[in-house]
Amino acid sequence: MTSQTTKAGQTDRETPSADQIRRAPKVLLHDHLDGGLRPGTIVDLAREAGYEGLPETDPDKLGIWFREAADSGSLPRYLETFAHTCAVMQTKDALKRVAAECAEDLAEDGVVYAEIRYAPEQHLERGLTLEEVVEAVNEGFREGERRAKANGHRIRVGALLTAMRHAARALEIAELANRYRDLGVVGFDIAGAEAGFPPTRHLDAFEYLKRENNHFTIHAGEAFGLPSIWQALQWCGADRLGHGVRIIDDIQVADDGTVKLGRLASYVRDKRIPLEMCPSSNLQTGAATSYAEHPIGLLRKLHFRATVNTDNRLMSGTSMSREFEHLVGTFGYTLDDMQWFTVNAMKSAFIPFDERLAMINDVIKPGYAELKSEWLFRQTASTSASVDV
């Protein structure tokens, strides 16, 4: 049996199937805990908490509502959907359940390492302390890891503590992240509407984290442009950029295909600053117009340290596998491309170097090697079946 040739000389054995994409080891750096709940869990928790604000009480209809409400093309409107998920995440048991299910769902989707972010300050309405929120979420992640292992999957989950950029608790949350850095929390983040709330408002938090040799990422270059990225890097010292899609504004592509990078884009590429790119979410918030026009295609060609992420699995109706399916279908990516994105992400994780290296060499590369070899066995089986006995 010979392989059929697809576009650009690519053979069908090089194009991963949906099943291979799901089984491929994947690394997730940008995913919000309150943006990934199961619709059925939201309904259950709302009933237990007496929350009557849900727009739908049927899980299937509720899932559709979240996706449609998030498809507005506006980041502020997109962020409004979180009022419902946060409303049902105000007790220890609710936080544990949501965190455990998050780890389970990701592991089922082939994710082997994930950094999940959430804002502790948004879960205090029913009397929890910041510390109790963090401990409940950490306990849930550990439970989810155990359940995943029992189901034949492996995943490691770290938490990123997020401060809301429109509030004034960034230093307090940064100190919280530092206290729990050896207890399941791997770093810090700021999130929320970018316009009018520059990261420089929270310089005290970032200066504190740098003094403590701790890690942080900043949502930047999503709804706002290059100044947001510049401030995040040069004023605040971010290790990674959450989204960063607007870096494309500093890249010029001439009619003949030649590319010229501006000074900021060159800096981002030269310094290997990780870009936590979330294609489906970017389409919903208007940061990109289509998968084909999404900057990730050009940034991959130019060898920026781009990574693939989900952002909010509930609101986008997505998963890591679905994100890669879109990219494979749009750009013709192969398993080699998937491995490139995945290794980029693992290199950029906020865990120690030796642990990142072990994940790459002992989990990620062997996993992709096994997938890439499967066509040989399909070919052998087909040839054997065609031989007359």
Q: Which residues are catalytic?
A: 222
Task: Identify the sign of the CA torsion 286, 290, 296, 302.
Answer: negative
Q: Tokens for 255? A: 């009619």
In angstroms, the CA 157 to CA 102 distance is 10
Helix (H) or strand (E) holding 378: helix 365-386
Phi, psi dihedrals of residue 253, rounded to the nearest 5°: -115, 120
- Which residues in the chain belong to E strands, given as ranges? 26-32, 111-118, 156-164, 185-191, 216-220, 240-243, 251-253, 259-261, 275-277, 306-308
Place of tokens 């979410």: 281
**Gap between the Cα atoms of 360 and 197, Å rounded:** 37
Residue 299's nearest CA partner among 275, 330, 325, 271 is 275
DSSP 101-124: HHHHHHHHTTEEEEEEEE-GGGS-
Task: State the Cα–Cα distance between residues 89 and 20, nearest whole angstrom.
Answer: 34
Structural tokens at position 14? 């090089």
User: What value does the CA radius of gyration of the chain take, rounded to a whole number of Å?
Assistant: 21
**What DSSP string runs through 152-204?**
T---EEEEEEEEETTSS-HHHHHHHHHHTTTTTEEEEEEES--TT--GGGGHH
Scanning the structure block, which residue is given the tokens 């870096």? 247
